[in-house]
Amino acid sequence: MKQLLREKFGYTSFRDGQEETIKAVVAGKHTLAMLPTGSGKSLCYQLPTFMLPGTTLIISPLLSLMQDQVDQLLLIGEKRAIAFNSFLNYQKKMYALKNLHQYKFIFTSPEMLQSKLFMEKLSELNITLLVVDEAHCISQWGHDFRPDYLAIGSVMKELGHPPILALTATATDKVKQDIKKSLNMQNSMDILYSVDRPNISLHVEKVESYQEKIDVLIKKIRALHGPGIIYFSSKKTAEVCAQSLKENGIKRVSIYHGGLNHEERILIQQQYIHNQLDVICATSAFGMGINKENIRYVIHFHMPMNMESYLQEIGRAGRDGKPSLALLLYAPFDEQLPMQLVESELINDSQMENLKRFFLTDSLRWWELEKYEEDITVIANLSETSMRILKDFHRHAILDYKEATSLDELKVIMNKQFQLKLEAIQTVYQYIHSSTCRREKILHYFGELPTINIGDCCDHCNGSNYPDLQTEELEIIPLYENWEEILKDILLSETSKNEE
Amino acid sequence: MSVIQKLVLFCLKSIENQRTAYAILHLLNGKKSSQTIQDAHLFHLKRYFHVLPHLAREEFNQILDDLLEENYVTCLGEGSYRMTEKGDMYLQEYDEPIIPRYLNGWSYNRMDKLFWERLSLMVQVISNLVAYNGRYLPIQNNKPHLDWLKNFIQRNRINRHELATQLFKELQHILTNKKIDPLILILRLTGSNRIGLTQQQAAEQLQMSVLTYQLHFINVIHMILTEVKENNTSYPLLEQILETEEKNEWLQLTQSTRKTAIYLNQGYDIEDIIKIRKLKQGTIEDHIVELAIVDSSFNIDIYVPPEVQRNIIKTSTNGIKQLKYIRQLVPEASYFQIRLVLAKQKSAVSV
Ligand SMILES: [Zn+2]
């Protein structure tokens, strides 16, 4: 196994939890692995796939994440990987279906499992491992419930009951139970690692106003060393702050958000990895699939929506194990933004009333919902996310021949979700305003107990001084003024020749 | 005044108040409507077709507002603008072409994006080859480009260092002694150890607006395209990037026709080319007919009014193919026009 690790992936040792998980998977056991962010979850199914005879099917919630994974595999020379999702056009889909048996890694989204043709082709394959990535999406108690995930349990038979590997970074006890129940994972092997990241010091800083927050941010960034990420909930604010940072002499800053095209995304990621940038002002779109070990700090300019995503985002700091910092900035009424976001992501009662009226006046409309998408968006004033929720629900409903009156079920789900999300914001609010150890708070939320004493624990344990963020001397790429020098550097450079 | 403002002012002057200002926006965006295509020809603005495909209406309005505020134009209402004397003086003060000189949107609008995507990928791949680095993310994820590049590397089976040196020489040569700033292109290139800048970052570093940068960038790409087409033997690697259908079409043409095509693409009309090349009218007309046969997208509307085209097609589809008889039935058409329409029909059929 170690040899395979070295040959295929170029690593010399496993990280926490990887080896155990891989052993369980290879032994053909159902496995639930909760490993902290940044511990290399994907290796837990990539490596076994090379050892298992058949195909590995990976179900993942985010389309962009799938492509990232395929790209990562390409990087290590594995071409038998495909992301089978709605991004493929008809021709490519048909081609992929015809040649599905040639792939060793098939990434797909849960909604694709409802395609008859796709399922037919899958059932012809020898699937020796089913991976459910971000498995917490299956639980209504989770922070990111996706109804489509529930369908996974019902396709197991067609897939030939393969061993399941359910992966998640952060799940409370309730969510873990839900995952195992929904996927029918009896006698599963549970590999649970603490969500705690001892080398990340947890700080919260309260300010009085938005303007003061920007001022504090600039001051902090000036004082901090090494690469960092600043997370924002709004693209606009990310842009404004990046601009202010530049005006204040912090030049190696860039923004990153979902609106960038492929070339821009790759360039900014790679600039960051190659230490051409120090600070990324990002929305939550940034981070997944980025393997950068030496990120020294993660700052949240806005209040996170829940503890799970907060942990995931700060977990991108300090993967090299060196002292790192998580800082959350808070100004009065900051909780209003996440509340507005929750509001816009769900379908509220009055929107639901409009939807019902629209469908009940003409029952045909319900069965031909696709035709009316534009009308629906306007009539019920739906956001993109809530439109997706409606479509997901609709897809399931019509499979069971349910009429538009079944929207009442959705209403119940929505109200429950709304409550849960408000509670999640409340939890973050309490975390911010707590006066006791922050690490204890987090561990308590995830049902863990603090086990070790940590030097630079949090602002309540150690005061407002930050840990000493040791930064190695980074090789700075010379900024030539002369274009021929740059061109030489790119095409005629011999220095990097012996690096590999 | 920014280069974009100059460009818009110049276009306003050219349309002489016969269209609303938005005709210019459509032209710069490269809108594929017959109105816009006709305007490009009628007002001799073909070079600026599709040079700013992402220019938004709001940005365009801002440019108009700025020109208004500086009194270079006056607004006649309803989106109609007229250039003022001040504007006219401003444009006349410049002997130099005031707008990036290599722009040639009409000829290259289908090719410039492809050229950049392949060039940037080629540089990245070769740079990593030289560094013996096999692990990197290609900055373009377009499968046909990746396939093309793989093919390219296999075809040019020379030592990787020679390949890099050759590419270096070609890029160095093509960017030297041109009226452009090579950094506009170079800052965007990605190598094994140096990641290129995005368009916003490059604009920032060169201290210009993103729009201005986009225009300069397209200008550089068009310069390279023209240079490679005219001196293809000097750029054996860059020339291969143009391996598209269009290049095959290009190869089918005679040397002399190619020259005529270049002039036409630069906006010269038949009379100009006769003067410049000291050739007979009949010869140039032959070239144009040849172009119409080879290039199915060649637009002949400026040579033959659509109505005359229809009449010629009608008679020819009735079985009459000889020029002499078509001429008798459609007396308003010249022999050149008849040949051109028939050539066009032929190329349309063969596609
Ligand atoms: Zn503490």
Taking the C-alpha atoms of residue B247 and residue B238, their distance in angstroms, rounded to an integer, is: 12
How does pLDDT run across A440-477, given as a tens digit for each residue?
A: 999 999 888 877 778 889 999 988 888 888 766 666 66
Per-chain mean pLDDT for chain A: 88
The mean per-residue pLDDT over the stretch A380-398 comes to 86
User: DSSP alpha helices (H): ranges in chain B?
Assistant: 3-15, 22-29, 34-42, 57-69, 85-92, 105-108, 112-130, 143-155, 160-175, 183-186, 199-205, 210-230, 236-241, 245-252, 255-265, 270-277, 281-294, 306-317, 323-329, 335-350
Angstrom CA distances, B168 to B122, B150, B172, B238, stand at 11, 19, 6, 11
Whole-angstrom Cα distance, residue A340 to residue A337?
Answer: 5
B219 vs B233: CA distance, rounded Å = 22
Lowest mean pLDDT among A216-230, A395-409, B237-251: B237-251
User: What is the nearest CA distance from B245 to chain A, expressed in angstroms?
Assistant: 22
Q: Do the Cβ atoms of B140 and A77 come within 8 Å?
A: no
Q: Which of A75, A263, A276 sits opposite B139 (nearest CB)?
A: A263
User: In angstroms, rounded to a whole number, what is the distance separating the alpha carbons of residues A289 and A93?
Assistant: 25
Query: Per-block average pLDDT, block size 10, for chain B (351 residues)?
Result: 90 88 94 80 89 95 94 89 90 70 87 92 94 85 81 85 95 94 96 93 92 95 94 91 63 76 82 88 87 76 87 78 79 89 67 33
For chain A, the C-alpha Rg in angstroms (whole number) is 24
Measured CB to CB, residues of chain A less than 8 Å from chain B are 67, 71, 75-77, 254, 260, 262-264, 266-271, 274, 276, 477, 483-484, 486-500
Strand partners of residue A231: A282, A300
Name residue A201's amino acid: S
Q: Report phi then psi at A11, rounded to 5.
A: -100, 155
**Is the pLDDT at A405 greater than 80, yes or no?**
yes
How far apart CA B146 and CA B254 sit, in angstroms, is: 32
pLDDT over 90 at A427, yes or no: yes
Q: Which chain B residues touch A if contact means CB-CB below 8 Å? A: 120, 123, 126-127, 130-141, 164-165, 167-168, 171-172, 175, 182-183, 186-187, 189-199, 201
Tell how far the Cα of A202 is from the centroid of ligand 1, in angstroms. Answer: 8
What is the rounded distance in angstroms from the CA atom of residue A228 to the CA atom of residue B322?
76
Spatial distance between the Cα atoms of A317 and A292, rounded to a whole number of angstroms: 9
Q: How far is the CA of A214 from the centre of ligand 1 (A)?
A: 26
> In B, which residues are within 8 Å of A490 by CB distance?
123, 127, 189-192, 194
Select from A250, A266, A477 the residue whose CB has the most chain B CBs within 10 Å, as the one to mutate to test that interface. A266
What is the least distance, in Å, from the CA of A273 to any CA of chain B? 10
What is the C-alpha to C-alpha distance for residues A457 and A307, in angstroms, rounded to an integer? 17
- Bridging pattern class, strands A253-256 and A279-282: parallel
Interface A-B: count of C-beta contacts within 8 A: 107
CB contact under 8 A, B137 and A499: no
Q: A182: which residues sit within 8 A by CB, 6+ positions away?
A: A138, A139, A149, A150, A152, A153
A78-97: pLDDT as tens digits: 889 999 887 777 777 888 88
Q: What is the largest CA-CA distance in chain B?
A: 71
Please answer yes or no on whether B195 and A270 come within 8 Å at the CB atom.
yes
Distance A466 CA to ligand 1 centre (A): 13
- Beta-bridge mates of residue A445: none
Q: Whose CA is closest to A143, among A135, A132, A151, A131?
A: A135
Nearest Cβ partner for B172 among A274, A487, A499: A487
Of A254, A264, A487, the CB nearest to B171: A487
Collect all residues of chain B within an 8 Å Cβ-Cβ radius of residue A274: 193-195
Inter-chain CB proximity A496 and B195 less than 8 Å = no
Distance A457 CA to ligand 1 centre (A): 4
Residue A34: helix, strand or coil by DSSP?
strand
The two three-digit tokens of residue A406, written as one number:
């079944």
Residue A488, token pair as written in the block = 């030489």
Flag if B194 and A266 touch (Cβ within 8 Å). Answer: no
The CA-CA-CA angle for residues A71, A106, A190, to 5°, reads: 100
A210 band by pLDDT with thresholds 50, 70 and 90 = very high
The string of DSSP codes covering A278-319 is SEEEE-TTSSTT---TT--EEEESS--S-HHHHHHHHTTS-T
User: What pLDDT, on the 0 to 100 scale, is given for residue A496?
Assistant: 45
Measure the CA–CA gap between A312 and A288, rounded to whole angstroms. Answer: 10
Give me ligand 1 centre to Cα A465, in Å: 13
Q: Is A270's CB within 8 Å of B137's CB?
A: yes
Q: Which residues surround ligand 1, an ion (CB under 5 A)?
A: A 437, 439, 457-458, 461
Ordered by where they begin, the domains of chain A are: 2-192 (3.40.50.300), 200-335 (3.40.50.300)
pLDDT at B300: 86
d(CA B20, CA B23): 6
Structural tokens at position A203:
């700080």
Q: Between chains, do A499 and B123 touch, taking CB under 8 Å as contact?
A: no
Distance A338 CA to ligand 1 centre (A): 26
Q: Residue A411 pLDDT > 50, yes or no?
A: yes
Q: Are A30 and A188 in contact (CB under 8 A)?
A: yes
Q: How far is the CA of A222 from the centre of ligand 1 (A)?
A: 25
Q: Please state, in angstroms and rounded to a whole number, the distance separating the CA atoms of residues A63 and A321.
A: 30
- CA–CA–CA angle A259, A265, A269 (5° rounding): 135
The answer on pLDDT for A150 being more than 50 is yes
The reply to whether residue A483 touches residue B140, judged by beta carbons under 8 angstroms, is no
Distance from CA of B212 to the nearest CA of A (A): 19
CB count, 10 Å around CB of B138?
21
Q: Would you state the pLDDT for residue A1?
A: 85
Quote the pLDDT of residue A497. Answer: 43
A499 and B133 within 8 Å at the Cβ level: the answer is yes
pLDDT of A244 over the 80 cut: yes
Query: Cα–Cα–Cα angle for B262, B268, B274, nearest 5°?
Result: 90
Distance of CA B223 to the CA centre of its chain: 10
Q: How far is the CA of A16 from the centre of ligand 1 (A)?
A: 23
> Using one digit for the tens of pLDDT, what is the confidence trace for B206-227?
999 999 999 999 999 999 999 9
Question: Per the CB < 8 Å rule, is A493 touching B196?
Answer: no
The C-alpha atoms of residue A206 and residue A216 are separated, in whole angstroms, by: 10
Res A222: pLDDT: 92
Which tens digits make up the pLDDT trace of A302-332?
999 999 999 989 999 998 889 999 999 999 9
CA A104, A110, A114, A115: dihedral to nearest 10 degrees?
A: -40
Q: Are B75 and B81 contacting, i.e. CB atoms less than 8 angstroms apart?
A: yes
Q: How far is B82 from chain A (nearest CA, A)?
A: 37
Q: Are B4 and B212 in contact (CB under 8 A)?
A: yes
Q: Which residues of A touch B113 (CB under 8 A)?
A: none
